[in-house]
């Protein structure tokens, strides 16, 4: 099992691992943003007089955002942070896909040109690897990077809510 994990890490490479860390970091920011959106929407509705229940906000936040215009501006700023974080997570998944596919293609080129024990590699095998196996491995890396990010976000939200 350890050998397989070591082999998988070697195949995806340090760049794809860094993109997994980036996806996780972006997911933590997204989780914080989701909580901020919920809190600021309640404050915004209360400042407009549409929410009858009293919302308990931190004292420093009430003094910082005295009017509904300030709360709306804070909501826009939170939306911008959310957009940047969403792009960061999406880019991390794409980097994981592209890096994994590229590294596997380099393995195929090595096998074709430089492998000492295999002077001849059948073209059908190379075509199958390039067309089927490597593409699916790249899509798996894409999906796994997305899963890592979404799982981190879900874990943070579950921790805060429950």
pLDDT the model gives residue 61:
67
Return d(Cα 22, Cα 28) in angstroms, integer.
Answer: 10
With beta carbons less than 8 A apart as the criterion, state whether 149 and 26 touch.
yes
* 10-residue mean pLDDT series, the chain (162 residues): 79 82 85 83 78 70 71 83 88 88 84 76 79 85 85 85 79
Neighbours of 50 (CB within 10 A): 8
pLDDT of residue 62: 65
Every domain of the chain and the residues it spans = 2-161
Q: What is the reported pLDDT for 76?
A: 87
Euclidean distance between CA atoms 31 and 86, whole angstroms: 11
Please give the pLDDT value at position 119: 73
In this predicted structure, what is the pLDDT of residue 145? 84
CA distance 108 to 137: 14
Q: Residue 88: which of 144, 140, 139, 27 has the closest Cα?
A: 27
- Pairwise CA distance, residues 14 & 10, whole Å: 8
pLDDT for res 108? 82
Q: What is the CA radius of gyration of the chain?
A: 24
pLDDT for res 7 = 77
* Cα–Cα distance for residue pair 162/59, rounded to 1 Å: 24
- CA dist., res. 18 & res. 99, Å (int): 11
Closest of 37, 34, 30 to residue 75, by C-alpha: 37
Cβ-in-10-Å burial (0-12, 13-18, 19+) of 102 comes to middle
Give residue 36's pLDDT: 82
């Amino acid at each position: 099992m350890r050998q397989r994990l070591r082999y998988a890490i070697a195949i995806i490479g340090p760049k794809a691992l860094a993109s997994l860390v980036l996806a996780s970091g972006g997911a933590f920011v997204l989780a914080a943003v989701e909580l901020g959106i919920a809190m600021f929407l309640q404050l915004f509705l209360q400042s407009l007089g549409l929410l009858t229940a009293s919302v308990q906000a931190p004292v420093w936040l009430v003094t910082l955002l005295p009017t509904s215009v300030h709360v709306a501006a804070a909501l826009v700023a939170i939306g911008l942070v959310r957009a940047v974080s969403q792009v960061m997570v999406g880019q991390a998944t794409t980097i994981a896909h592209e890096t994994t596919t590229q590294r596997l293609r380099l393995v195929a080129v090595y096998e074709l040109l430089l492998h000492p024990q295999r002077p001849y590699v059948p073209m059908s095998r190379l075509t199958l690897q390039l067309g089927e196996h490597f593409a699916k491995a790249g899509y798996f890396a894409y999906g796994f990077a997305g899963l890592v990010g979404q799982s981190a976000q879900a874990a943070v939200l579950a921790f805060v809510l429950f």
